[in-house]
Structure 1
């Protein structure tokens, strides 16, 4: 096993014939993506795409998580010490990696054991095959941090059944492996005790034919049933409420449901929305709605504009406050400004989608790619 200099040992590379296994190796930090990891992964993906000797990529995490997200606490501390440019560069490289994965010419199999959140979803869900297990926990928890679901999430969440993507994005909902498979975020479900056998079989692959790779994973996969309390069993309520035009109307519709039926899920969803940053909720809803009609590249470019406004603190400092409350001081009591949804005006929301007015800033420049595999990647099942 060898690591890539100069990125220390945060990304390990294992070579088996024409298969390369990329191992995210920060287990104590739940494999949160550092800048060094992102650069290491970029080097790997770029080099292996050109290498005819490499046919298949496997990605997994060391320890009990696949990847808990981007290391945003480090980003926030660096912005405070240095400047917003550090944060912008971090997200620029991360989004470039997301785009390369989404348009990659060779199959990638992500073994989603344990936690898959935020940036961890970005380095896996854009790939061809996503294997969930009974231990998988997926979420895009950004609205609780004063951020929004980025890493191209407005592309893949907007393509989930009905208005399920709006629910997952705004409420920061946690999904298990069965739910990921049922809604299309995962392509396969394999019991965790069979993952080592699957991995061994994949390491013997000598083809980039997706059909052949899929056939191997199919041999180990199963069809799990949804738990009774699954949010996917409430898709009718989700579609009714989360299809509303504004966040205020979504919450009002949920409160109407709560008055008609005693459902813990409805109460918990309302509570999640009321704890989140009002600014984050509004820009997230707009982002998902725009994502429905955009390519993955267009989503990433737009999200890059949004995230630059966030890290610069142009219209709100909620991202810094959310990271303080949840990740740094951990008092879990963020003070959002403004604190109420009705105080977040449409004109301010609109500004997040505009170019950044700074001579040092430029739009996200994505490379022209020959093999664009991004379309139709999320398979929406009939639920």
Structure 2
């Protein structure tokens, strides 16, 4: 048991609250284990009609995973990173395949691991504090937790732009792209939770849909409505260098800002990420999760940029990573792992 996640029942509703507000509710192994166990139990419990997940505090739904531990484990070769990713990806898969309504209240920072425990569910409810992103290329890593599944399925090349640059979406952007299914003003969030905990729900999602519609508001205009054309033009294709050239040639202020951002990311991470997104577009969810585990482990094994990114962003906080040269071929990152390390969905 852990105090880092609060798991309880409230009438028809299974309730999960990520409870590390000082760490923006970032996931650790104990949290992943507790969520997985609860969801499996509730899946078989006919009295649980729906699951609602939120984060403690006002700043973050879930800002990611335990990056420091992952880097330490990779250097030590002690297997903790592999176990965390395997179990996290099993949790992501359980959520994606869950037979009952899964409602994530992403009112706050939602990044990395927080995306994995929200975006694959039936309902994703943005609020005024929502900031949604997959910023992994900024630490020399890739958008895992199913990023290669959901990002290619967003409108146009928005997912490619997000995966490569770590672009942050606010509530209106989340609604426009389909990242979020509903917007509920932050001031209405306590009343929404109370309604889920006290009203009659059903396991087909109709009651949850009606309840969310009752509390939904207007998130306003998304800036993506103005930049969609630029995104789709610049981020098409399979070559990061060509994307950089198109951004430079476009010459407008937005494109030049994106160029600066893209060039600040790990060149190898961007190459591998782009290949993962293109491959993931034609994969099913479990295939993507198996791919995620392979790629994540490769970043530990050939991980100069990952360790350097963690140093620059997490440890020293100088935000001045010294990246290695761009990998010319992403194929080695996708090779199968040893048989006993490959992703297994047994008992998932």
* TM-score higher than 0.5: yes
User: Residue 167 of structure 1 is aligned with which of 156, 161, 171?
Assistant: 161
Counting only pairs closer than 5 Å after superposition, residues 315-326 of structure 1 correspond to structure 2 as 316-326=303-313
Provide the C-alpha distance between the structure 2 equivalents of 1:302 and 1:58, rounded to a whole number of angstroms.
28
Whole-Å separation in 1 of the counterparts to 2:346 and 2:117: 17
Match of 1:132 in 2: 126
User: Cα distance, 1:84 vs. partner?
Assistant: 5.2
Residue of structure 1 in register with 2:332 after alignment: 351
Residue range with higher mean Cα deviation, 301-310 or 94-103: 301-310
Aligned 8 A contact 1:56 1:205 in 2: no
Are the aligned partners of 1:27 and 1:62 in contact in 2 as well (CA < 8 Å)? yes
1:377 matched residue in structure 2: none
1:150 is paired with a residue whose SS is coil
1:290 maps to which of 257, 273, 279: 279
Aligned to 1:308: 297
Does structure 1 retain, via aligned residues, the 8 Å contact 2:128–2:185? yes
The answer for unaligned runs of 5 or more in structure 2 is none
1:336 matched to 2:323? yes
**Cα distance in 1 for residues equivalent to 2:260 and 2:88:** 31
8 Å contact from structure 1 (residues 84, 312) kept in 2: no
For the 8 Å contact 1:75–1:87, the answer to whether it is kept is yes
Q: CA deviation at 1:355?
A: 1.3
- Answering whether residue 68 of structure 2 is matched by residue 73 of structure 1, we say yes
Shift of the 232–283 alpha-carbon distance from structure 1 to 2, 3 Å rule, reads farther
Q: Distance in 1 between matches of 2:257 and 2:34?
A: 39
SS at match of 1:151: coil
Q: How far has the Cα of 1:367 moved from its partner?
A: 4.0
Contact 2:69 2:81 in 1 (8 A): no
- Could you tell me which of 249, 254, 272 is aligned with 1:256? 249
User: How many angstroms does 1:363 deviate by?
Assistant: 1.2
Which residue number corresponds to residue 96 of structure 1?
90
Given that 2:201 and 2:208 are in contact with CA atoms closer than 8 Å, whether structure 1 keeps it comes out as no
Q: Secondary structure at the match of 2:263?
A: helix
Counterpart Cα distance in 2 of 1:71 and 1:325: 16
Distance 1:146 1:235 in 2: 26
Q: Does 1:211 align with 2:190?
A: no
Deviations 1:205-251 (Å, cap 9, x if unpaired)?
33112122111101111232225xx2342111111111133000001
Alignment match, 2:111: 117
Residue in 2 that maps onto 1:362: 341
Does the 8 Å CA contact 1:205/1:213 hold for their aligned counterparts?
no
Kindly indicate whether residue 22 of structure 2 is the aligned counterpart of residue 9 of structure 1: no
Indicate the SS of the match to 1:161.
coil
Q: 2:54 aligns with which of 60, 64, 88?
A: 60
Structure 1 residue runs of 4 or more that deviate by more than 6 Å after TM superposition: none
Tell me what 1:376 maps to.
none
What SS is found at the alignment partner of 1:66?
Answer: strand
Q: Please give the per-residue CA displacement for 1:296-346, whole angstroms capped at 9, x wherever unaligned.
A: 111111111111111223xx41111101110111111111112xx4xx212
* 1:69-109 deviations in Å (ceiling 9; x for gaps): 011112212333x4152111110000000000000011111
SS of 2:334's equivalent? coil
Instruction: Give the length in aligned residue pairs.
Output: 346
Q: What TM-score does the superposition give when structure 2 sets the normalisation length? A: 0.96
